[in-house]
Amino acid sequence: MRFAANLGFLWTDRTLHDAIHAAAGAGFDAVECHMPYDEDPLAVRAALDQVGLPMLGLNTDHSGPEVGLGAIPGREVEARDDVDRAVEYAVAIGCATVHVMAGRSCRVVGSEATYRANLAYAAERAVEHDLTVLVEPITTNAFAGYHLQTVGQAVETIDALRADGVPDVVRVILDFFHVADMGDDVLDAAGRLGDRLGHVQIAAYPDRGEPDAGDLDFGALIPAISAGYDGYFAAEYRPRGDLEAGLTWLSPWLAGRAA
């Protein structure tokens, strides 16, 4: 089992360069980020090379009130510009995935068709560079009106893309917190995703703190999901207190791997 640090949540008080180094020093196997576009990609690539960590993924721009434009009717040109920018940046830093943020469509008429068309565009761009496109169901308690809310909706979208002959490079992020907050069972959701599962993010539920407490049994869930998933488990949580002090959750996993 391999663990990644989400630098959109961890070491946010540091530059991306310093956060990458901090993650390496803490024992993480990889990093991921949200919107690194203000950072020089050559400098980011250099920092990754210095510590020997891969950058797993980044998001399309979601700085506006819509929280992404992937499923917003009438904003297709901007949405595809965001995809282009993300793909180009990912290629520059050696990142393997781009998460296309769907946005707060409130699932109005035409929003799912818009989403599928924009994902098809993203898939075509991705295959040019051997990238994977990711989508993520996000709880409505995080972003009210967000287009993609459940694993079931994600399955429906990907199956429709496959049926339309879209390059099969679109996969789903299984985020323990978001799935649990929408009332779904995490392990059951992973099983329903099957080969559509592309990435996993972990945090406690319900407080979204370190993955060592709360309602989710990480000691059972992580090994069970690992049986059918060989990717990373990305720590996307809000530290309950001091970040470094809270990293004790990671130590048993690293020790068990070394045993």
Res. 217 pLDDT band, cuts 50 70 90: very high
pLDDT at 258 over 90: no
pLDDT score recorded for residue 256? 83
Q: What is the pLDDT of residues 174-213, one digit of tens each?
A: 999 999 999 999 999 999 999 999 999 999 999 999 999 9
The CA dihedral of 250, 228, 206, 170, to the nearest 10 degrees, is 110
Q: Which stretches within 1-129 are classed as H helix? A: 16-26, 41-51, 76-93, 111-127
Please choose, from the candidates 151, 144, 140, 87, the residue with its C-alpha nearest in 3D space to the C-alpha of residue 118: 87
Domain residue limits at 166: 2-258
Number of helices and strands in the chain (H, E):
10, 8
**What pTM did the predictor assign?**
0.97
Q: What CATH number does residue 212 fall under? A: 3.20.20.150
pLDDT exceeds 90 at position 257: no
Task: Starting at the earlier edge strand, list the strands of the sheet with 2-6.
Answer: 30-32, 2-6, 232-235, 197-202, 170-175, 132-135, 97-99, 57-59
Confidence of residue 259 (pLDDT cuts 50, 70, 90): low
pLDDT per position as a tens digit, 92-141: 999 999 999 999 999 999 999 999 999 999 999 999 999 999 999 999 99
pLDDT band at 52 (very low <50, low <70, confident <90, very high): very high
154 pLDDT more than 60: yes
What integer pLDDT is reported at residue 73 of this predicted model?
99
Asked if the model's pLDDT at residue 16 lies above 70, the reply is yes
Q: Which residue has 């995703």 as its token pair?
A: 193
For residues 208 and 177, is the Cβ–Cβ distance under 8 A? yes
Cα separation, 213 vs 205, in Å, equals 8
32, 112, 210, 236: the active-site residue:
236
Question: 32, 66, 136, 210: which one is catalytic?
Answer: 136
236 as an active site residue: the answer is yes
Tell me: the pLDDT tens digits for 20-51?
A: 999 999 999 999 999 999 999 999 999 999 99
Amino acid identity for residue 245 in this structure: A
Tell me if 32 sits within 8 A of 55, measured CB to CB.
Answer: yes
pLDDT for the residue numbered 152: 98
Percent of the chain with pLDDT over 70: 99
How many domains is the chain built from? 1
Query: Average pLDDT over the chain, rounded to whole?
Result: 98
- Determine the residue type at 207: D
For the question of residue 136 being annotated catalytic, the response is: yes
Output the six-digit token pair for 209: 């703190």
